[in-house]
Amino acid sequence: MMANIVYIAASLDGFIAKKDGGLDWLLNIPNPGNSDYGFSEFLKTIDAIVMGRNTYELVLTFNEWPYNKPVFILSNTLQSVPKNMTDKVEILKGNPDSIVKDLNSRKYFNLYIDGGKTIQGFLKYELITEIRITRVPILLGDGIPLFAALPKEQKFEHIKTEVFNNFLVRSVYNKSMN
């Protein structure tokens, strides 16, 4: 069984980043226990990460590389990665369907799909099997949206909702088989 999972935070008005890609609004989340809110446990359940170039370039600005799983960067323009990243990331080209087939053939079946355009592309191909969205109680007013227009509706079933620190609300949805 394969899974293509979205695990992401979004503002109440549906944005995953500011217009300039900024995530500073996520830095002010109350976190008295210095929790990662289950992210490290989630990472244990996946085989690989698929992200777009913009997300990859943002992650490169972090103090340290946060992933111990293979990371595949979707880009039609990126030609190479820094030498210190060659054992951590690989650039892939193609549509989401061919990318999933390629990764599945390499025994990567549980994929974490990250980045606005990448998520939207996988949704267009109806390849997202689960969405884990954490709502942050802020209205950004404008920014990079999580969702975009789709060729047809897709139904998901609510699995569970958790509240963290009376501040964050994470809901999990699985693709409906109906």
pLDDT exceeds cutoff 70 at 58: yes
CB 154 within 8 A of CB 162: no
Superfamily of domain 3-15+35-169: Dihydrofolate Reductase, subunit A (3.40.430.10)
124 vs 151: CA distance, rounded Å: 7
CB 166 within 8 A of CB 151: no
Give the start-to-end residue ranges of the domains of the chain. Answer: 3-15+35-169
Chain centroid to CA 86: 21
Residue 169: which residues within 8 A CB-CB, separation 6 or more?
Answer: 134, 135, 161, 162, 163
| Angle (deg, nearest 10), helices 116-124 and 96-105 | 90
The predicted-structure confidence for 111-139, as pLDDT tens digits, reads as follows 999 999 999 999 999 999 999 999 999 99
The predicted-structure confidence for 80-115, as pLDDT tens digits, reads as follows 988 988 999 999 999 999 999 999 999 999 999 999
Chain centroid to CA 52: 9
- 27 vs 123, more confident: 123
